[in-house]
Amino acid sequence: MKKLTLTRPDDWHLHVRSGALLKAVLPHTARQFARAIIMPNLKPPVTTVEQALAYREEILQAIPAGLDFTPLMTLYLTGSTSLEEIRKAATSEHVHAFKLYPAGATTNSDSGVADIEAVYPLFEEMEKQDIPLLVHGEVTDETCDIFDRERVFLETRLARIVDRFPALRIVVEHVTTREAVDFVKAQGPRIAATITPQHLLYNRNAILAGGIRPHFYCLPVLKREQHREALVQAATSGSPKFFLGTDSAPHLTSLKENACGCAGCFSAPLALELYTEAFEKAGALDKLEGFASFYGADFYRLPRNRGTVTLEKSAWQVPGVYNDGDIAITPLKAGESLTWKLQATVRV
């Protein structure tokens, strides 16, 4: 196959930051994706509908002329979130979910939830209002090995939430393990998961083999090969429970390449090419459109897009860095070659 045309996809897990960094990274997403679920872990976090609407306006102002893109906003769940805020979010046409960060689990998660059972009344109201909960599924107990944090969260936290709130729609974000895949598959249609390109293409050797390579460091961290294989099987299975979420997380190169590099992979400029490579390697290009373009929209109860994107089999080299000077960002697969390239986007 030399050319592949898909219904225009959406990104169901995206970080775009704010200010100059937002203006630098947003065009990469807008040229490919029609919509994206925008993560709320700014400093300070986006915790109210009013803040989400203000952030949305900043994003809209950063979309380059000639591109159409719709940001789908989320609120950062904290121990101080009120029932009234959940009701306001549920009635807002622009707020689509709440994001649960266990305190200390990832970038800008210090305001997250330390005691998950303490926010059960919030889950109950979300269930009543039928607004989804997006979960960063890791425990933060210092005694738990970092490679086990997702599995332990599923067993000790999420299983209880699912049992206690049977009608609550939940997205297990950026799943990384065979156990997470099995957990999601075992639940009903209200439980789904996003999968990133880095977790489809790489195992933990990418971070450590041949030296420490910080641009492959993300949270949840890359896992063993058996887990990568399970994710590929899930993504290419045609199951509507698994859909595209890049978790593209831009950090300045200077912050990634230092004594304590931050977590996050910047994949936005080559997101569709990375997913296409992963699906082609699995012999499942025919399954990519559902994963990228249909299943996420269906889960969020939004209409499927009507435009298209076209990729052609054409080798190209990923730039070593995007932008210059104070906002230089190193992408995933920097300096390496890809075999597919986005050629056209038709907007309808």
Domain locations in the chain as residue ranges: 11-307
Arithmetic mean of pLDDT, 295-322 = 97
227 is in an annotated binding site: no
Checking if the pLDDT of 209 tops 80, the result is yes
Arithmetic mean of pLDDT, 191-196 = 98
φ, ψ of residue 159 in degrees (nearest 5)? -60, -40
The pTM (predicted TM-score) of the whole model is: 0.96
Q: Are 247 and 197 in contact (CB under 8 A)?
A: no
Checking if the pLDDT of 108 tops 70, the result is no
What fold, for 11-307?
A: TIM Barrel (3.20.20)
| Interval 3-34: pLDDT, tens | 999 999 999 999 999 999 999 999 999 999 99
16 is in an annotated binding site: yes
94 is in an annotated binding site: no
Residue 286 appears among annotated catalytic residues:
no
Strand segments (E) across the chain: 3-7, 11-14, 35-38, 70-76, 95-100, 133-135, 170-172, 191-195, 242-244, 308-317, 337-346
Beta bridge partners of 84: none
Q: Are 307 and 69 in contact (CB under 8 A)?
A: no
Q: How far is it, in rounded angstroms, from Cα 330 to Cα 323?
A: 9
15 is in an annotated binding site: yes
Torsion of CA 93, 96, 100, 106, to 10 degrees: -100
Token look-up 């789904």 returns 192
Q: Which two tokens stand for residue 249?
A: 């997380």
Q: How far is it, in rounded angstroms, from Cα 310 to Cα 291?
A: 16
Q: Are 41 and 109 in contact (CB under 8 A)?
A: yes
Instruction: From the candidates 247, 286, 324, 326, give the one annotated as an active-site residue.
Output: 247
13 is in an annotated binding site: yes
Task: Give which of 327, 264, 289, 235 is closest to 25, Cα–Cα.
Answer: 327
Checking if the pLDDT of 274 tops 90, the result is yes
Q: How confident is the model at residue 346 (pLDDT cuts 50, 70, 90)?
A: confident
163 is in an annotated binding site: no
